[in-house]
C-alpha cells in the first residue's frame, strides 16, 4: 500500500481570529492524527508569522507540533510577492535558515504578482530563483510552488500559477528545481473540466497534493463535490507523491461562520478519515 504523510495548515481555523496561536493550532492538528503541520509564513499568513520571526518563536511552534505527536511538515511562503524581487530573494535565503530550525526538508511557495502581467511574473520568478533559489535547492530541500486563482484572466490575477500550462512554465524557468504543488480544486476553479488528466501528465514531478473538494464555485465537504478522489488516489499511487496536504475550508462559506475551535477540529478529523480511507 502506498504510504503518505498527511498534513494540514492553520487556514481552517481562520474564522476564530486571534483566539488560537500558531502553537495552539500546530498542537491541535497533530493531536488529531495528522503527521505534520504546514506552517504558513508571511504578511498574509494565519496565524500571523513573519519571515523574520525569531528562533524562539519558531522553536515553540515546532515543539508544539511535536507535543501533539507530529512535526512541522513544511514551511509555506504564502506571501511570495514578485512585485518585490528583493523581498523574494530575502525569503528564499531566510527559508533555508528557518527550515533547519523547524527540522523540515520541504519549502512551498505561493507566488503572487499583484499588478504584474503573467509573462513578467515568470521573468521575475526566474530572476529571483537564479539569485537565491538554486542555492536553497542545493541544500537538499524540496521546493514546490502551488496553484491558486483569484481572477478570471491570468494578467488580472494576483497569483502566478493557475493552470497546467503555468506548471510547465514553472518547471522551465527554474530548470525543474521548483516542483508543482498540485491543487485539483483550484484547477477546477480555473476552468478545467477535470484535474485528473493534468495530474497524470505532471505526476512524476509532483511530491505534494493539496486536497479539498469543489462544486459551484466554492469548497465543499470532501466527497460531495466534483473531484473523483478514488481516481485521483489511483493515479497518486503510481506517482512520486509523498505528502497529502488536507485543506479544510468548506465552513468558510457558512453563514454565520463557524467559530468554535472544537467543531473545526471535528471537521479536520472527519476530512483526515475520509482521505485516509481513499488514499490509504
Per-residue pLDDT tens, the chain, 280 aa: give them. 568 999 999 999 999 999 999 999 999 999 999 999 999 999 999 999 999 999 999 999 999 999 999 999 999 999 999 999 999 999 999 999 999 999 999 999 999 999 999 999 999 999 999 999 999 999 999 999 999 999 999 999 999 999 999 999 999 999 999 999 999 999 999 999 999 999 999 999 999 999 999 999 999 999 999 999 999 999 999 999 999 999 999 999 989 989 999 999 999 999 999 999 999 9
pLDDT for 52 equals 98
CB 80 within 8 A of CB 42: yes
Question: Which residue do the cell numbers 512524476 mark?
Answer: 204
Phi-psi region of 191 (alpha: psi -120 to 50; beta: other; left: phi over 0): left
What radius of gyration do the chain's Cα atoms show? 18
- Pick the closest to residue 75 from 245, 264, 268 (CA basis): 245
Backbone angles phi, psi at 74, to 5 degrees: -160, 160
Cα–Cα distance between 217 and 220 in angstroms, integer?
9
| Beta pairing partners, 106 | 142
- What residue segments make up the domains of the chain, in order of their start? 5-279
Q: 31: buried, middle or exposed (CB in 10 Å: 19+, 13-18, 0-12)?
A: middle
Say what the pTM is.
0.97
Question: Which residue do the cell numbers 524581487 mark?
Answer: 85
**CATH number for region 5-279:** 3.20.20.150
CB 182 within 8 A of CB 202: yes
Amino acid at each position: 500500500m502506498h504510504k503518505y504523510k498527511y498534513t494540514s495548515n492553520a487556514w481552517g481555523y481562520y474564522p476564530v481570529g486571534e483566539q488560537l496561536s500558531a502553537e495552539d493550532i500546530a498542537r491541535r492538528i497533530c493531536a488529531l492524527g495528522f503527521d505534520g503541520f504546514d506552517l504558513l509564513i508571511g504578511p498574509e499568513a494565519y496565524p500571523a508569522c513573519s519571515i523574520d520571526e525569531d528562533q524562539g518563536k519558531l522553536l515553540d511552534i515546532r515543539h508544539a507540533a511535536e507535543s501533539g505527536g507530529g512535526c512541522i511538515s513544511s514551511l509555506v511562503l504564502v506571501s511570495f510577492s514578485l512585485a518585490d524581487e528583493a523581498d523574494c530573494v530575502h525569503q528564499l535565503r531566510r527559508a533555508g535558515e528557518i527550515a533547519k530550525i523547524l527540522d523540515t526538508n520541504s519549502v512551498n511557495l505561493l507566488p503572487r504578482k499583484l499588478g504584474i502581467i503573467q509573462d513578467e511574473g515568470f521573468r521575475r520568478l526566474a530572476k529571483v530563483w537564479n539569485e537565491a533559489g538554486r542555492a536553497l535547492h542545493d541544500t537538499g530541500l524540496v521546493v514546490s510552488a502551488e496553484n491558486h486563482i483569484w481572477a478570471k484572466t491570468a494578467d488580472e490575477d494576483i497569483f502566478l500559477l493557475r493552470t497546467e500550462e503555468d506548471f510547465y512554465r514553472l518547471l522551465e524557468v527554474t530548470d525543474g528545481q521548483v516542483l508543482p504543488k498540485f491543487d485539483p480544486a483550484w484547477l477546477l476553479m480555473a476552468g478545467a473540466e477535470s484535474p485528473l488528466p493534468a495530474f497524470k501528465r505532471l505526476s512524476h514531478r509532483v511530491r505534494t497534493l493539496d486536497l479539498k473538494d469543489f462544486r459551484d464555485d466554492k469548497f465543499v465537504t470532501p466527497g460531495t463535490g466534483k473531484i473523483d478522489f478514488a481516481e485521483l488516489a489511483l493515479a497518486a499511487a503510481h506517482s512520486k507523491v509523498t505528502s497529502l496536504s488536507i485543506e479544510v475550508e468548506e465552513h468558510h462559506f457558512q453563514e454565520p461562520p463557524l467559530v468554535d475551535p472544537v467543531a473545526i477540529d471535528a471537521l479536520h478529523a472527519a476530512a483526515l478519515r475520509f482521505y485516509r480511507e481513499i488514499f490509504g
